[in-house]
Amino acid sequence: MLHKRKSTLLLAVLMTASLTAAGCSEENHAKERMDQALTKQAEMKSYSFTGNADLNLEMPSQKEGSNPMTSALLTMFMKGKLEWNGAASTDPVRFETDLKSTPAGSAAALELPVLFKDNKLFLHIPMLNKDGEYYSVDMAELAKLSGQANPMSPDSLKNISKTMSDAAKLAISDVNPKWFAESDAGALKDGTKAVSYRLDITDKNRKEITDALKAKWPQLADTLKSSGIFTGSQAEEWKAQSATLDVKAPGSIEIKVDSAGFIREQNVSLSLSYQGKDGKGHSSSFRVAQAYNDVNQSPKFQKEEPKNARPLSEILKLIMPPKTTK
């Protein structure tokens, strides 16, 4: 009888250990597979896309004498609602999108169609262009004027894609795997089956996630600086924010991955606060949803190159800050 009880107890212990190990394994796999999908995303060479965002981001500090047109354009992409759709490829480099911006406090949406083809960027700016009119920017000319590499070359686009992937992986690298979850996402809009990997930010784990992100914040700043996304001063400002960074709840990061390992849908909702260099408290929040289709297939481009587009020099006069004399 005693032997039987010991055997039953041993079996119960083994079953409990097995279930616990299985649970930990799944948790670890969810974070690991999210990481793998972020890496895989850099392999996308062509795709169509659609998305939307609700933004409430802190505006960069404006220097005295800054151009009002630049400030107006920044407002369009910092506070309000954005919607977009389009297609892209990296070899040859081609990109097109229809972007719609509804600034905070306004009921009127502004539409900004954009096309990049044959190393030229064509864009329509509602405040500056008539209906159907575009500006044209020759990227080789712009690179020569700025003294920097062409940001729309195949290598540059690949580097940007890899940088954003590396930054996302770095941001979650110190987060405990137990907070990640894996589930069946069902079928996407095109019928493709997908798996969901998700990190929920709650009152229970908010402090832990904040500490994990703060530890990587300076490294994130350096990553974005080395890729050219941040200037040196912007990177230093980010680093200074890390000490007071505070992630708020609720929030979430979710990706839906197809059988080939590509991210087909991304949903991010984040809110955070920090103390600025002015000594005051600042807060920013955003919700972004993006979907990818036709991955590494023939892109469905629809826009034709605009005729009689206005030249780059006209844009520079409008958006460059005025020169000051000392």
- Could you say which DSSP state residue 177 is in? G
Write down how long the chain is.
326
pLDDT at 6 over 80: no
The answer to whether residue 44 scores a pLDDT higher than 70 is yes
Rounding to the nearest 10 degrees, give the CA dihedral for residues 91, 195, 30, 25: -130
- Residue 185 corresponds to which amino acid? A
pLDDT of 3 above 70: no
Residues 222-238 pLDDT 10s:
988 887 777 788 888 88
What confidence tens digit (pLDDT) does each residue in 77-110 have? Answer: 788 999 999 999 988 889 999 999 998 888 888 8
- pLDDT class for 161, splitting at 50, 70, 90? confident
Could you tell me which of 311, 306, 292, 301 has the C-alpha nearest to residue 92? 301
CA distance 231 to 171: 20
* Strand extents, DSSP E, 70-119: 79-90, 93-103, 110-117
Return the amino acid letter for 314: E
Phi, psi of 307 (to 5 degrees): -95, 150
User: Which token pair is 171?
Assistant: 């941001």
Q: What percent of the chain has pLDDT over 90?
A: 48
pLDDT of residue 158: 63
pLDDT digits (tens, 9 = 90+) for 290-301: 999 999 998 889
Q: What is the mean pLDDT of residues 186-200?
A: 94
How far apart CA 33 and CA 254 sit, in angstroms, is 12
The DSSP 8-state label assigned to residue 310 in this structure reads: B
Q: Can you give the pTM of this predicted structure?
A: 0.81
State the chain's mean pLDDT as an integer: 81
